[in-house]
């Protein structure tokens, strides 16, 4: 209900304007928060990019909440306790993951102990770790983060759609501000998840394929969407791995030990702006730091 005397006076003179000013006024009073989501951090080079860019990004873009996918931080496979703690220290509220998180033995213990380190919720339930978290952020309430993994061209784990339904219903009992990291290979499965959760979550962002896609948008129901946020790591590589070794694997069709690349490091992320009382996304902005040079060097 509007109580501003200037607007009430305006309504008295121009009754036709009443609806329009009510809409404009409610928009004016609606507050928003900026949430930063950092795509798959690959190796120490990726962590360097987070160290370098996160502090200034937080300040310059008024970031209230940070999520980062850490499945590849430890030489491409999983995340060490030290790396996880450093990310938290740098201001990352929630670390999400995916298929590679399981590739080191220590991770089960770490995930069982740390509620802020997520694994996809649709891995069979008796696995270690948590698939979602709800984090208080002061006056703006709390933010829910849900991690899911696709099944197309990946392990046949539990249904991500049914798991999403179950988890989102539970999270929405506490907050409408919900970000989903959908760690999946197939573009179609990711787009389908965006439409499945449209209007029920603030954002569905894709991870795992390590290349930022050009389809960031807010779906009509107020859900921000991007098929893949992209990799935070070395781009003089094949998805973070040394080019020569990746080529050998393709050409010889036999196993060759992967090693991390180190050069041309970029941070890939999105900033999602969300209305606080409703959880609806206002915008999604893809970021690459430093930006890629498109001219020949
Ligand atoms: Fe990844
Ligand atoms: Fe992955």
Beta bridge partners of 224: 203, 218
pLDDT digits (tens, 9 = 90+) for 59-102: 999 999 999 999 999 999 999 999 999 999 999 999 999 999 99
Neighbouring residues of 104: CB distance < 8 A, sequence distance ≥ 6: 74, 77, 78, 80
Span from the CA of 207 to the centroid of ligand 1 (angstroms): 7
Structure tokens at 264: 């041309």
Span from the CA of 208 to the centroid of ligand 1 (angstroms): 4
What does pTM read for this prediction?
0.90
With H, G, I as helix, E, B as strand and everything else as coil, classify residue 175: coil
* Burial of 92 from C-beta contacts in 10 A (0-12 / 13-18 / 19+): buried
* 80 within 8 A of 267, measured Cβ to Cβ: no
Residues of the chain with pLDDT under 70: 1-29
33-289: CATH, from 3.30.360.10, 3.40.50.460, 3.60.21.10, 3.30.70.270: 3.60.21.10
Please tell me the predicted confidence (pLDDT) of residue 145. 99
Please tell me the predicted confidence (pLDDT) of residue 19. 55
Average pLDDT, the chain: 92
Please tell me the predicted confidence (pLDDT) of residue 139. 87
> Of the listed 6, 11, 13, 100, which one is catalytic?
100
Span from the CA of 169 to the centroid of ligand 1 (angstroms): 27
Ligand nearest the Cα of residue 103 is 2
Residues with CB under 5 A from ligand 1 (ion): 40, 71-72
Q: Domain coordinates of the chain in residue numbers?
A: 33-289
Task: Decide if 100 is catalytic.
Answer: yes
Span from the CA of 185 to the centroid of ligand 2 (angstroms): 8
* 178 within 8 A of 145, measured Cβ to Cβ: yes
Span from the CA of 172 to the centroid of ligand 1 (angstroms): 28
Please tell me the predicted confidence (pLDDT) of residue 10. 37
Please tell me the predicted confidence (pLDDT) of residue 18. 54
């Amino acid at each position: 209900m509007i109580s501003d005397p200037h607007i009430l006076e305006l309504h008295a003179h121009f009754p036709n304007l009443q609806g329009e000013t009510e809409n404009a006024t409610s928009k004016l009073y609606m507050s928003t928060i900026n949430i930063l989501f950092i795509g798959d951090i690959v190796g120490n080079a990726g962590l360097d990019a987070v160290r370098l860019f996160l502090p200034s990004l937080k300040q310059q873009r008024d970031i209230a909440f940070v999520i980062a996918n850490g499945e590849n931080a430890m030489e491409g496979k999983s995340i060490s306790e030290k790396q996880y703690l450093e990310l938290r220290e740098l201001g990352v509220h929630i670390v999400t993951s995916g298929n590679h998180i399981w590739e080191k033995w220590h991770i089960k213990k770490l995930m069982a102990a740390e509620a802020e380190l997520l694994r996809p919720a649709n891995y069979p339930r008796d696995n270690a770790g948590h698939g979602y978290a709800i984090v208080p952020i002061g006056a703006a309430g709390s933010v829910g983060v849900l991690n899911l993994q696709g099944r197309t061209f990946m392990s046949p784990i539990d249904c991500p759609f049914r798991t999403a339904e179950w988890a989102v219903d539970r999270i929405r009992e506490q907050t409408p501000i919900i970000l989903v990291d959908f760690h999946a290979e197939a573009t179609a499965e990711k787009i389908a998840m965006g439409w499945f959760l449209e209007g029920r979550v603030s954002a569905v962002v894709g991870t795992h394929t390590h290349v930022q896609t050009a389809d960031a948008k807010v779906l009509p129901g107020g859900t921000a969407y991007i098929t893949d946020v992209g990799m935070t790591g070395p781009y003089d590589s094949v998805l973070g791995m040394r080019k020569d070794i990746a080529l050998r694997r393709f050409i010889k069709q036999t196993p060759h030990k992967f090693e991390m690349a180190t050069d041309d490091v970029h941070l890939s992320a999105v900033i999602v702006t969300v209305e606080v009382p409703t959880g609806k996304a206002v915008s999604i902005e893809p970021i690459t730091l430093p930006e890629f040079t498109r001219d020949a060097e």
